[in-house]
Amino acid sequence: MLAGPVWFVVTGDELRWLPAWRMFEHAGVGVCDVQFAAPDGRRLDRYRAHGVPHRFLAPDDLFALDDTRGARRAARAFCPDADRVDITMRCAGLEGWRARPKSSLWCSE
Amino acid sequence: MKLPSLTSRQAVLGLRFGFAVLAWSQVGGHLHLGMAQSLPDAFIVIAFYMAATGLLLSWGRACSVATGVTLALVYHWFGAEDGVLGRHQVWLLSSSLLWLGVSPVAGWRVPARAPWPPRPTTDPGLHLVRVQLSVVYFFGALHKLTPAFLSGERLEAIAVEQWFGSDLPGPHGLYVAAALLTVVAELVLALGLWLPRLRAPLAGLGVALHVGFALLLPVQTFSVLAMLHYLAWCTPVARRTSASPSTTSPSGRLRLSRLGS
């Protein structure tokens, strides 16, 4: 009962045979928080651009973005109204948010 | 505020039945003979279902131990390949079933025997289940004492994944407060349930917390499992005194510190 968690506290390693009761530690790891903005700094609504009335009705690949490629694909929806879309994103790891370098999607690309 | 008062027998049988249902529901659908690649695989699958069926029908001590052992085997043998079978609630279920094997309660078909001479003991199986729950809460809280969790960032990531998608709303302070409250609640539950005066309100807090988790997060099995453990707190907990004239009433019934009193 105590061997697994005490072992982890002392050594920092989790024994495969004796869990350390680190509950739901990996929940949310890998997801990204992404903001899209126009060149003038105005925030852009991804759901409206994709014709989705509410975030909960959005398809998975728009709702939960987990990489730069997905974010750029989602940003394409703004192109009819913008020349450039600025993308700010941070992705979750075990140690918290990790900021990704800011990038821009040029609609002429 | 008072907790329901159960006999040790009622609590042990209730826990075994609840754990049997959870064992079936957690493992069912993820463990079947079709996934057996070898003879040991097949043996573990068959042994688990035999033990879990016996537990479901008899609520018995031997079946409790057998289901606990086979669940531990399932956790280690198949857990690495199937994420569900390798989750910590399978291990918690396995442990608690093993602890209930220590209880003198045989099963629902064997009538309870009154101890003679009567002695102020608590059921050792229930006691281990209580300790197990405290250990889970305590180390659950201890592992959350990291900058990532206390800054609210881990909860923000979970909110992104489960609720809001990659467009996180809300003030950052809300997530910080939720993180701090979670850690404090787990620490208080780990230690406070052992204090008779705090037991009833903290049990209410614990149940509310788990219902909240189940409503907000995909942690329904763990929530039910943890709430079931509270049955172990609904029984008399004997004081650490030996039977003596001062602790024994004229009718021979012992004074026990009832929950919530």
Kindly report the backbone phi and psi dihedral angles of residue A96, in degrees, each rounded to the nearest multiple of 5, phi listed first.
Answer: 110, -160
User: Does the pLDDT value for residue B99 go beyond 90?
Assistant: yes
Of the candidates B29, B19, B27, B31, the one whose C-alpha atom is nearest the C-alpha of residue B93 is B19
Q: Check A95 against B148: CB less than 8 A apart.
A: yes
Question: pLDDT exceeding 70 applies to what percent of chain B?
Answer: 86
- Domain match, B83 and B161 both: no
Would you say B115 and B20 are in contact if contact means Cβ atoms under 8 Å apart?
no
Chain B within 8 Å of A92 (Cβ-Cβ)?
yes
Arithmetic mean of pLDDT, B21-27: 92
- Looking at residue B104, its pLDDT comes to 87
B21-50 mean pLDDT = 91
> Smallest Cα–Cα separation from B144: which of B83, B185, B172, B174?
B185
Closest listed residue to residue A102, CA positions, set A35, A57, A49: A35
Whether pLDDT at B87 is above 80:
yes
Where a domain ends, among B50, B80, B107?
Answer: B107
Query: By the 8 A CB rule, do A49 and A82 touch?
Result: no
pLDDT at residue B191, as a whole number:
96
Which of A24, A89, A94 is closest, CB to CB, to B219?
A: A24
pLDDT digits (tens, 9 = 90+) for B229-242: 999 999 876 655 44
What pLDDT score does B249 carry?
43
Residue B200 lies in a domain: yes
- Domain identity same for B72 and B34: yes
Q: Answer whether A10 touches B (CB < 8 Å).
A: no
For B179-206, what is each residue's pLDDT tens digit?
Answer: 999 999 999 999 999 999 999 999 999 9
Asked if A94 reaches chain B (Cβ–Cβ under 8 Å), the answer is yes
B102, part of any domain: yes
| Same-domain check for residues B79 and B167 | no
User: Residue B245's pLDDT is what?
Assistant: 42
pLDDT at B117 (0 to 100) = 56
- CB A1: neighbour CB atoms within 10 A? 17
| pLDDT tens-place string over residues B4-20 | 888 888 899 999 999 99
A35 assigned to some structural domain? yes
Higher pLDDT, B129 or A23: B129
B211-219 mean pLDDT: 89
Number of domains in chain B: 2
Within a domain: A5: no
Q: Give the range of the structural domain holding residue B224, as residue numbers without chain letter.
A: 122-235
**pLDDT of res. B242:** 45
Range A81-89 average pLDDT: 87
Tokens 């079933």 correspond to: B97
Share of residues in chain A with pLDDT > 70 (%): 99
- Side chain identity, residue B207: V
Q: What is the pLDDT of residues A25-56, one digit of tens each?
A: 788 899 999 999 888 888 888 888 888 888 88
Residues of chain A neighbouring B216 (CB-CB closer than 8 A): none
Q: Does residue A76 sit within a domain?
A: yes
What distance in Å separates the CA atoms of residue B180 and residue B146, rounded to the nearest whole number? 11
In a domain, B135, yes or no: yes
| Domain shared by B96 and B174, yes or no | no
Of residues B148, B166, B222, nearest to A94 (C-beta): B148
Residue A89 is predicted with a pLDDT of 92
Task: Give the domain range for residue A54.
Answer: 25-104
B230 and B127 fall within a common domain: yes
Structural domain contains residue B36? yes
pLDDT confidence of residue B73: 93
Give the HSE-up count for residue B206: Cα atoms under 13 Å, Cβ half-sphere.
30
For residue A32, the chain B residues in CB contact (below 8 A) are: 160, 166
- Same structural domain, B44 and B79: yes
Q: A12: left (phi > 0), else alpha (psi -120 to 50), else beta?
A: left
Which residue among B61, B79, B107 closes a domain? B107
Contact criterion met (CB < 8 Å) for B168 and A33: yes
Please tell me the predicted confidence (pLDDT) of residue B116.
Answer: 59
Residue A1 covered by a domain:
no
pLDDT of B22 over the 60 cut: yes
Q: Specify whether B75 is located in the same domain as B17.
A: yes
In terms of domains, do B100 and B132 share one?
no
The interface pTM score, or ipTM, of the predicted complex is 0.85
Query: Does residue B261 carry a pLDDT above 50?
Result: no
What are the distances in angstroms from CA A99 to CA A95, B169, B170, B231? 12, 17, 19, 45
Amino acid identity, position B49: Y
pLDDT (0 to 100) of residue B185: 95
Looking at the structure, tell me whether residues B89 and B132 fall in a common domain.
no
Query: Is there a single domain that holds both residue B165 and residue B229?
Result: yes
- A87 to chain B, any CB pair closer than 8 A? The answer is no
Q: Provide the number of structural domains found in chain A.
A: 1
Q: Do B174 and B217 fall into the same domain?
A: yes
pLDDT at B147: 93
